[in-house]
Structure formats: structure tokens, C-alpha cells
């Protein structure tokens, strides 16, 4: 139950990071579009200055403004790229954790199934022992009587002589001489 809760929380974190990545991409696109518009405006001002034949000083100022805006755009782009990389790494880390937890849950499920099958097998064996007094190896057949018609010391009627079940029969079988 605890593993499933952890897996659920990791999946929620994973979805949150994906949503954050999507929002970040939208913010990146918006910032780049704004920077493009600012660049277009600077180019327009430069062209306007050239058309009006303004002085060299005014043209240099517009060029400097354009360079500054290009530099700012580059900084914004690099910052957003680094942020996207960090979020991508975090997303990969959570995905790996989720996969590990999923594998652990599968392992525990297999172990649980194996234990359940062993428990059912033990119940079946106990039922066999109750009605037949144990496995064939506990029937105390003397090795000297192999191949002859000597009577086995195991008494089937002793299994039903009391309400104690197979334990009483086992004790009688063990106590009887061979």
C-alpha cells in the first residue's frame, strides 16, 4: 500500500513537472516573440533613421540598442534553455524512480503470489496428512518386509479414533514398534 502511495505521488510530481515544462515552453515562446518584436522595432528605427538621413550619432545609438536587445535575447534564451534542462533532468529522475517502484511492486506481487501458492500447498498437504496419516515415507514400513506381505505398523483406523486428528495418528505410528 505504501509503495502504491509513493508511486502515485511520484506520478503526480511527474505530471506537475510536465505541466511546468509546458508552461515554461509557452513563456519561452512568448519571450522570444517579444524579443523578435523588439528587434523588428529596432530595425525599423534604424531604417527610419537611415531614410531621414539622421546623423551618424543617431544611427550608432540605434545600432547599439539593437545589439543590446540581441544580447538580452541571447541571455533570456540561454536562461530558459538551462531551466528547461533542469526540469527535463528532474522529470527523468522521477521517471526512473517511478520505474524502480513499479518493478519493486511487481517483485512484491510475485513474492506474495508465491507465498499464497506455498500456503495453499501446505493446506493441501495438511489435509492429506489428516486423512492418510502423513506422507508415504512416514508409514514406518520395515525395510526387511520389502517385497513380502507383512503387515504395516501404520493403522488407518487410528486416524479416526479421536477428534485429535492426524497428530494422534502420527504419535501412535511413531510409538508402535516396527
Contact 20, 94 (CB under 8 A): no
Question: What is the number of structural domains in the chain?
Answer: 1
The answer to whether position 122 is within a domain reads yes
At 131 the pLDDT is 62
Q: How far apart are CA 34 and CA 73, in angstroms?
A: 9
At 127 the pLDDT is 66
Question: Domain range for residue 128?
Answer: 2-132
At 85 the pLDDT is 94
Least confident of 10-14, 59-63, 70-74, 119-123: 59-63
User: Per the structure block, which three cell numbers stand in for 76?
Assistant: 533570456
Which whole number is the average pLDDT over 160-175? 46
Q: How far apart are CA 85 and CA 98, in angstroms?
A: 20
At 40 the pLDDT is 93
At 170 the pLDDT is 47
The answer to whether position 140 is within a domain reads no
Which sign does the torsion angle of CA 59, 60, 65, 67 carry?
Answer: positive
The answer to whether position 58 is within a domain reads yes
The answer to whether position 147 is within a domain reads no
The answer to whether position 15 is within a domain reads yes
The answer to whether position 143 is within a domain reads no
At 52 the pLDDT is 73
The answer to whether position 66 is within a domain reads yes
Residue keyed to cell 522570444: 32
Q: Tens digits of per-residue pLDDT, 16-45?
A: 999 999 999 999 999 999 999 999 998 898
The answer to whether position 56 is within a domain reads yes
Q: How far apart are CA 29 and CA 25, in angstroms?
A: 6
Q: Tens digits of per-residue pLDDT, 84-99?
A: 899 999 999 999 999 9
Q: Tens digits of per-residue pLDDT, 115-165?
A: 999 999 888 877 666 666 655 444 444 444 444 444 444 444 444 444 444
With left for phi above 0 and alpha for psi between -120 and 50, is residue 53 left, alpha or beta?
left
Higher pLDDT, 151 or 104: 104
Amino acid at each position: 500500500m505504501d509503495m502504491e502511495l509513493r508511486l502515485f505521488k511520484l506520478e503526480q510530481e511527474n505530471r506537475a513537472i510536465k505541466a511546468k515544462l509546458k508552461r515554461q515552453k509557452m513563456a519561452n515562446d512568448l519571450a522570444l516573440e517579444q524579443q523578435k518584436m523588439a528587434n523588428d522595432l529596432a530595425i525599423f528605427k534604424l531604417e527610419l533613421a537611415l531614410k531621414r538621413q539622421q546623423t551618424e550619432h543617431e544611427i550608432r545609438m540605434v545600432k547599439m540598442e539593437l545589439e543590446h536587445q540581441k544580447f538580452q535575447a541571447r541571455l533570456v534564451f540561454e536562461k530558459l534553455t538551462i531551466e528547461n534542462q533542469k526540469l527535463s533532468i528532474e522529470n527523468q529522475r522521477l521517471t526512473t524512480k517511478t520505474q524502480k517502484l513499479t518493478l519493486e511492486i511487481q517483485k512484491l506481487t510475485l513474492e506474495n503470489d508465491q507465498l499464497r501458492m506455498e500456503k495453499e500447498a501446505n493446506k493441501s498437504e495438511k489435509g492429506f496428512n489428516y486423512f492418510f496419516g502423513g506422507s508415504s515415507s512416514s508409514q514406518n514400513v520395515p525395510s526387511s518386509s520389502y517385497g513380502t506381505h507383512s503387515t504395516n505398523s501404520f493403522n488407518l483406523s487410528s486416524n479416526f479414533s479421536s477428534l485429535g486428528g492426524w497428530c494422534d495418528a502420527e504419535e501412535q505410528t511413531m510409538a508402535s514398534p516396527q
